[in-house]
């Protein structure tokens, strides 16, 4: 029996997948094709709801279910204008897993998802938020460090692990942000994680439909190239976005300044300004990931981009992660055994 099996058990039981290796919900990228392929390769895929029209999301959920018999999740963004419709839709369709992202779901919203039979996973970017989400009924937590790509929280994964993973035992805790190797996965599992989530690593898979230009930028990038956007003024609170720096990053800075001027002149509400920010990112990501405009489009990537240089089939990626993790656990077992023998 493989050593890793005992460390995979909790995540397997919760997700129902062969391996608790999740593919993050990336707008324009985590489509039915990628999600179903991840599931069929033994992982667990998350369909990105984003702010898609409800009828489009409905058809994507149905298509994903046709492409795989394995369980998968649907990611709903609490800050999206279509969020309420998305939540009702996933409940009406009886989706097995609902992942709340982008903000803090209300207790009644978590309860609504659970009443439909779904298991709920909530992103926790700080210690107080993690405890609050558990109190609100979250079935599992996702800790995502600031090393991750796309919209990110304010705290590094190394700190979140100590603040939350080491303190929470009664719900499964999954880990995301900066993960790209099985060796790292092994250590996270041994520290108590129920499983991991990767996004950047899965972009460089053969099954990912992202534009070749988009993938080529990932292959060439170094970890330091994935930078987080700044917030210019507290009057316009924006969730930082980590992406490869290009002209699109500069354009976002200009947009923030324009929106702040409109706020000063009372020509826009803060809520509408925040929606404008999200519309910018959705459009910019599409230009890069779908259309191939890697100059002005958004190249959302985590710092793990510096660890990934090769495009591989999903099955090979997942198997490589598991084999590397098993080898690392065996290496540590031998080291511990040797240390005990020396002491005796």
Q: Is 75 helix (H, G, I), strand (E, B) or coil?
A: strand
Tokens representing 124 are: 């926790």
Q: What angle do CA 186, 308, 230 make, to 5 degrees?
A: 95
- The class level of CATH for 4-209+312-337 reads alpha beta
Contacts for 13-17: CB closer than 8 Å, 24+ residues apart:
14/119, 14/139, 14/140, 14/172, 14/194, 14/195, 15/44, 15/71, 15/97, 15/195, 16/70, 16/71, 16/96, 17/42, 17/43, 17/44, 17/70, 17/71
Using a 10 angstrom Cβ sphere, with 0-12 exposed, 13-18 middle and 19 or more buried, the burial of residue 1 is exposed
Provide the pLDDT for residue 344.
63
| Nearest-angstrom CA–CA distance, 161 and 166 | 6
| Nearest-angstrom CA–CA distance, 90 and 298 | 28
Tokens representing 62 are: 């149905």
Would the CA dihedral through 113, 114, 117, 122 be positive or negative? Answer: positive
Domain boundaries, the chain: 4-209+312-337, 221-303
Check if the beta carbon of residue 134 is closer than 8 Å to that of residue 141: yes
Provide the pLDDT for residue 39.
98
Provide the pLDDT for residue 238.
79
Q: Are strands 241-244 and 226-228 parallel, antiparallel or unpaired?
A: antiparallel
pLDDT tens, the chain, 344 aa long = 699 999 999 999 999 999 999 999 999 999 999 999 999 999 999 999 988 999 999 999 999 999 999 999 999 999 888 999 999 999 999 999 999 998 899 999 999 999 999 999 999 988 889 999 999 999 999 999 999 999 898 899 999 999 999 999 889 999 999 999 999 999 999 999 999 999 999 999 999 999 999 999 999 999 999 999 888 877 887 788 999 999 998 888 888 889 889 988 889 988 888 888 888 888 999 999 999 999 999 999 999 999 999 999 999 999 999 999 999 999 999 998 888 887 76
């Amino acid at each position: 029996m493989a050593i890793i099996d005992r460390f995979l058990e909790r995540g397997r039981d919760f997700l129902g997948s062969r391996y608790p290796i999740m593919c993050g919900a990336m707008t324009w990228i985590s489509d039915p094709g990628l999600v179903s392929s991840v599931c069929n390769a033994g992982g667990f895929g998350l369909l990105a709801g984003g702010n898609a029209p409800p009828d489009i999301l409905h058809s994507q959920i149905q298509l994903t279910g046709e492409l795989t018999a394995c369980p998968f999740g649907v990611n709903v963004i609490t800050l999206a204008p279509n969020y309420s419709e998305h939540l009702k839709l996933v409940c009406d369709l009886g989706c097995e897993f609902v992942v709340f992202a982008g903000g803090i779901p209300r207790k009644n919203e978590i309860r609504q998802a659970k009443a439909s039979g779904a298991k709920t996973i909530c992103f926790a970017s700080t210690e107080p938020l993690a405890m609050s989400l558990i109190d609100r009924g979250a079935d599992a937590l996702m800790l995502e460090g600031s090393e991750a790509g796309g919209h990110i929280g304010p705290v590094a994964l190394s700190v979140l692990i100590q603040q939350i993973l080491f303190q929470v035992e009664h719900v499964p805790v999954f880990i995301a942000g900066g993960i790209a190797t099985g060796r790292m996965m092994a250590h996270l599992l041994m520290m108590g994680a129920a499983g991991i989530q990767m996004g950047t690593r899965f972009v460089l898979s053969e099954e990912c439909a992202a534009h070749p230009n988009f993938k080529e930028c990932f292959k060439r990038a170094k970890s330091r190239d994935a930078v987080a956007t700044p917030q210019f003024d507290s009057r316009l609170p924006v969730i930082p976005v980590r992406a490869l720096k290009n002209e699109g990053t500069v354009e976002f800075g200009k947009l923030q300044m324009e929106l702040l001027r409109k706020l000063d002149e009372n020509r826009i509400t803060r809520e509408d300004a925040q929606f404008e920010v999200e519309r910018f990112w959705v459009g910019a990501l599409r230009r890069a990931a779908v259309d191939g405009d890697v100059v002005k489009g958004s190249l959302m990537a985590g710092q793990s981009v510096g660890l990934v240089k090769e495009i591989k089939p999903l099955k090979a990626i997942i198997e490589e992660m598991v084999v590397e993790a098993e080898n690392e656990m065996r290496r540590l077992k031998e080291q511990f055994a040797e240390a005990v023998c020396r002491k005796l």
